[in-house]
Structure 1
């Protein structure tokens, strides 16, 4: 019974992480569309789209925050594992656990500071130059991405500590490529 619940929990967490990745992808796509539309408007019709610069940089911030949430689970950032790969498995797990704990602390501090920025923007009335769009909804979306990053980083830390699993499942593709090239 407990394994069924654990499986359901894993499925729910997987769905949450999948939705986090979708938000990051949609926001990155939106930035791309905004820039393309801006370029077409400016150079094709000599009519720039109002506030596209401000909106695209704010949406890019949202994409980065939600992308950090995806990174918080998958760990697909640049890393150097020279030390971790040369020590026994229990030490590797301890090193990875410490690294993810540091990332969790950094993410918590960043979330706190961005939350303060949201409150300042709400009270300060920051708006874009032309359309007078309020900045605080964009900052709130960035803050929600950071909250999602806290969640995903904590989930990964729990997996490392509880299950003793490393990020090997994400490096398996590279190992398969190496094995295939060695066989040739």
Structure 2
């Protein structure tokens, strides 16, 4: 068989597997939050009952979802941006703006991660429990914190790739969105 005719697949490295895993986890948390809401509504509407601690679970799962969502959007750069200066800049200046903005984001999210760890520790030390079933809340905060840690890791990978391997970033540029 001719090897030249075989399709070539892009090599998936450790960083790409980590990025994909974090994005899948974020997607799973969206499903878990939706399932919790769906079950709570169905049980309340048709069976006149509720899941014990449904409100607490929903509140904490939403926090988890937010931090894992930050992780998922931080690497791709798909979040809402205002880029009037970036659009007017040349290619070299655009790259410097991207590197600077990503470094600022890395700093802010790293500080946020440190503060969130303090919240995890505080809920553990204070033995904060849910209302109905007295379940400790610190594991929920810890999972949210892991989402923030994941955001720091993904932003660090993005920064590394922006500086040393910009061709590895799959980004949708504003100009491309306008053409669609």
**TM-score category of the 2 structures, normalised to the smaller one:** 0.7 to 0.9
Task: Measure how far apart 1:88 and its partner are.
Answer: 1.4
- The whole-number CA distance in structure 2 between the counterparts of 1:58 and 1:27 is 11
Q: CA deviation at 1:90?
A: 1.2
The residue number in structure 2 matching 1:149 is 151
Provide the C-alpha distance between the structure 1 equivalents of 2:114 and 2:91, rounded to a whole number of angstroms: 34
- Cα offset for 1:19? 0.8
Give the CA deviation at 1:170.
Answer: 2.3
Q: Contact between 1:125 and 1:134, CA under 8 Å: does it hold in 2? A: yes
Quote the offset at 1:66 in angstroms.
1.2
Counterpart of 2:171 in structure 1 is 170
Is 2:88 the partner of 1:73?
Answer: no
CA RMSD of aligned residues (A): 2.1
Distance 2:33 2:144 in 1: 14
Residue of structure 1 equivalent to 2:87 = 85
Tell me if the contact between 1:93 and 1:166 (Cα under 8 Å) persists in the aligned partners: no
Question: Post-superposition shift, 1:165?
Answer: 5.0
Which residue is equivalent to 1:43? 45
Match of 2:137 among 135, 138, 159: 135
1:4 alignment partner in structure 2:
none
Unaligned runs of 5+ in 2: 1-9
C-alpha separation between the residues in 1 aligned to 2:116 and 2:89?
Answer: 38
